[in-house]
Chains A and B, each alone.
Chain A
């Protein structure tokens, strides 16, 4: 294994080439671009021998990997933000057609207003697409998730989105163990598709379904996704056997930190967990017993694993880099619905924070942990619903009058 100080996008590019996809479709968008540039560089130097399509848009980047996947190819593409929106229509078909393509998303906010910085509003808006969604805390995990994504996609015949926070992970240089070809081949043998467009065995793919069949066609990927936890768990365990890196104590679905004796927990996706872990260390110095819970997977939603790890805490603060306008934070909504039927469910408060790259400091998170600790004795039943959602970083002074008065 080679340990390199390497930029996030370059590291993911190397992992993709390591997985040896037959077709890669490339279209630039900040902050993803470095990934496809990295693959282009590797191809230019003769390290990638598949087809590298310089495509005309994200719409056709998704469409071409769908076609390639239907032809039996291992395929990869990458995007961010509005690019993911442009991919959205074809991507929704990928799960219904059971096509195991892999997509890296460098998470970035969606216009308007235009912003190139990180949050999760792009992928949260695709949560109903039927794509598996993995989230990485650091560059190493983004690299490793790339390989796990191919493995899980091909086993389940479902598309997988491997997420890494834009700039925070794409543009940072970290020491990374870049996987060598031999262990990659052991972990990820050549793809053997079950159904292809082979002309010698004609098939009709993507047919039109009438009401008597459509429900069942939709039920299948839903069921497979609900059970996908086992496959992700297996892939993560085998990944550990081959590469020696372990992800999370709940079958690779959820990662926890100092949670065993915690009264309250901070729950978040992706790189913000790193900041939260530092904040927990700081808060514990003040006697606040707080831990971190980080789902590695948002689809399928790891409900059972979360119920297990959150069973002992009084309150959960969701640090949420997304908003579903007119409702609330998608992560906390999903968490609440998982906890609702528990007899002693913890209080859940939603902290909408870090939107479009607004900096989140350790102090910010310590403040949230403090507030949560004070709330811990309050039963969820006593807590006013309109106080459950908090925007700690909101600058009231720049809001328009219609909202602030």
Chain B
């Protein structure tokens, strides 16, 4: 882009009116932040009649530094592990108000209750809280922005970190090829709770993602949507490649995109000419050690074999 073109573009941007934005620009997220895009799509899709619960994490920290807030909808943060518990209480309060016929809440019967949480808060520390919320059947949409590690504290592994990834707590070294346990299957765990609607998505396909947010909100009960949200800092790629990486994750089959209804897979995004996983791994610093020697090569082969098995199980290859 030429300087003139850029200036022209910036002039256009300055004319936007952000007064009504659900998630306004000016927050402190890094350039190319996948989760920040997720936040915007979620609140734009849900609309203003929404209450968001956000556990501790990147998105909470970058969006709410007092006295500023990026949130144009009602938003609450409590602690790291309890967003589903807090959301349960909010939803129960509204149910209680409605049952009591309280006038001031008459307009709020269709409030969207949304938890917007990272993978650490979802796969690990907040799991009990989430399990309880699912089991009790609260009418809450849970959106997990999955960036596959604890990015807020400087890239430590989480239950979502994929095998072979280098993080600060699974460093690659002479005796290590990075993370050595499989990524926890959270969608299956959600489905096993009897959650009516479970879906995965990638931020590279916002139309699909927003459709899933909408579908989750329509369910009268809990719904779970997990969206791959690449992190330039934690994964080690250039800021402008976020969408590319999200797309490659789908095209290589490492992040399958599907929907589950009442525990059954009902829709899978098929991938024609599925790309080899190397194409995805080689673009990210967190996997660069896998290209240094024999052990890395073996790890890549194992990862590929697991992806192939998963692709077969989900019938991804179109």
Taking beta carbons and an 8 Å cutoff, which residues of A are in contact with B? 22-23, 25, 49-51, 53-57, 59-60, 62-73, 75, 89-90, 93, 97, 197-210, 213, 217
Q: Which residues of A contact B60 (CB under 8 A)?
A: 208
Task: List 18 A-B residue pairs with CB atoms under 8 Å apart, sorted by A's residue number.
Answer: A56-B132, A59-B82, A62-B85, A66-B82, A66-B89, A67-B90, A67-B92, A68-B90, A69-B89, A71-B89, A72-B93, A73-B92, A93-B79, A197-B90, A199-B108, A201-B74, A204-B76, A217-B66
Q: Which residues of B contact A22 (CB under 8 A)?
A: 93, 96-97, 100
In the complex, besides A66-B89, A197-B74, A205-B76, 13 extra interface pairs with C-beta distance below 8 angstroms are A22-B96, A66-B78, A67-B53, A67-B91, A73-B89, A73-B96, A90-B82, A199-B50, A199-B74, A204-B69, A205-B75, A206-B64, A207-B69
B73 touching A202, Cβ below 8 Å: yes
Q: Which residues of A contact B95 (CB under 8 A)?
A: 51
Contact among B93, B108, B129 with A68 in the assembled complex (CB-CB below 8 Å)? B93
Give the most central of B66, B85, B107, B135: most A CB within 10 Å: B85
A208 touching B90, Cβ below 8 Å: no
A207 touching B96, Cβ below 8 Å: no
A57 touching B51, Cβ below 8 Å: no
B74 touching A198, Cβ below 8 Å: yes
Q: Which residues of B contact A25 (CB under 8 A)?
A: 89
Give the most central of A59, A71, A200: most B CB within 10 Å: A71
A28 to B202, CA, bound (A): 41
Q: Which residues of B contact A56 (CB under 8 A)?
A: 128-129, 131-132, 135-136
Q: Does B61 contact A (CB under 8 A)?
A: yes
B71 touching A202, Cβ below 8 Å: yes
Q: Which residues of B contact A213 (CB under 8 A)?
A: 66-67
Q: Which residues of A contact B49 (CB under 8 A)?
A: 199-200
A50 to B92, CA, bound (A): 9
Q: A204-B69, A210-B66 are in contact. Are A51 and B78 (CB under 8 A)?
A: no
Closest 7 CB pairs of A and B: A67-B89, A63-B85, A56-B132, A64-B89, A60-B85, A67-B86, A63-B82
A182 to B64, CA, bound (A): 44
For A25, give the chain B residue with the smallest CB separation: B89
A197 touching B76, Cβ below 8 Å: yes
User: Using a Cβ cutoff of 8 Å, how many contacts connect chains A and B?
Assistant: 173
Q: Does B88 contact A (CB under 8 A)?
A: yes
Q: Which residues of B contact A53 (CB under 8 A)?
A: 88-89, 92, 136
Q: Which residues of A contact B258 (CB under 8 A)?
A: none
Q: Does B99 contact A (CB under 8 A)?
A: yes
A57 to B89, CA, bound (A): 13
Q: Which residues of A contact B48 (CB under 8 A)?
A: 199-200, 202
Contact among B74, B78, B99, B136 with A54 in the assembled complex (CB-CB below 8 Å)? B136
B89 touching A207, Cβ below 8 Å: no
Q: A50-B96, A73-B96, A199-B111 are in contact. Are A89 and B79 (CB under 8 A)?
A: yes
Query: How close is A195's CB to chain B, nearest CB, in angstroms?
Result: 10
Q: A53-B88, A207-B64 are in contact. Are A202 and B74 (CB under 8 A)?
A: yes
Query: How close is B59's CB to chain A, nearest CB, in angstroms?
Result: 11
B65 touching A208, Cβ below 8 Å: yes
Q: Which residues of B contact A208 (CB under 8 A)?
A: 60-61, 64-66, 77
Q: Does B201 contact A (CB under 8 A)?
A: no
A313 to B46, CA, bound (A): 66
A69 to B85, CA, bound (A): 12
Q: Which residues of B contact A210 (CB under 8 A)?
A: 65-66
Q: Which residues of B contact A50 (CB under 8 A)?
A: 96, 100
Give the most central of B67, B90, B93, B135: most A CB within 10 Å: B93
Query: How close is A18's CB to chain B, nearest CB, in angstroms?
Result: 16
Query: How close is B16's CB to chain A, nearest CB, in angstroms?
Result: 19
Q: Which residues of B contact A57 (CB under 8 A)?
A: 128, 132
Query: How close is A101's CB to chain B, nearest CB, in angstroms?
Result: 10
Q: Which residues of B contact A202 (CB under 8 A)?
A: 48, 71-75
Q: A22-B100, A68-B90, A70-B76 are in contact. Are A204 and B81 (CB under 8 A)?
A: no
Q: Does B186 contact A (CB under 8 A)?
A: no
Q: Which residues of A contact B64 (CB under 8 A)?
A: 204, 206-208
Query: How close is B171's CB to chain A, nearest CB, in angstroms?
Result: 29
Q: A23-B93, A60-B85, A204-B64 are in contact. Are A49 and B132 (CB under 8 A)?
A: no
B75 touching A64, Cβ below 8 Å: no
A206 touching B77, Cβ below 8 Å: yes
Q: Does B260 contact A (CB under 8 A)?
A: no
Q: Does B190 contact A (CB under 8 A)?
A: no
A178 to B107, CA, bound (A): 37
Contact among A49, A90, A200, A204 with B75 in the assembled complex (CB-CB below 8 Å)? A204
Q: Does B87 contact A (CB under 8 A)?
A: yes
A199 to B51, CA, bound (A): 6
Q: Does B94 contact A (CB under 8 A)?
A: yes
Query: How close is A183's CB to chain B, nearest CB, in angstroms?
Result: 21
For B81, give the chain A residue with the smallest CB separation: A59
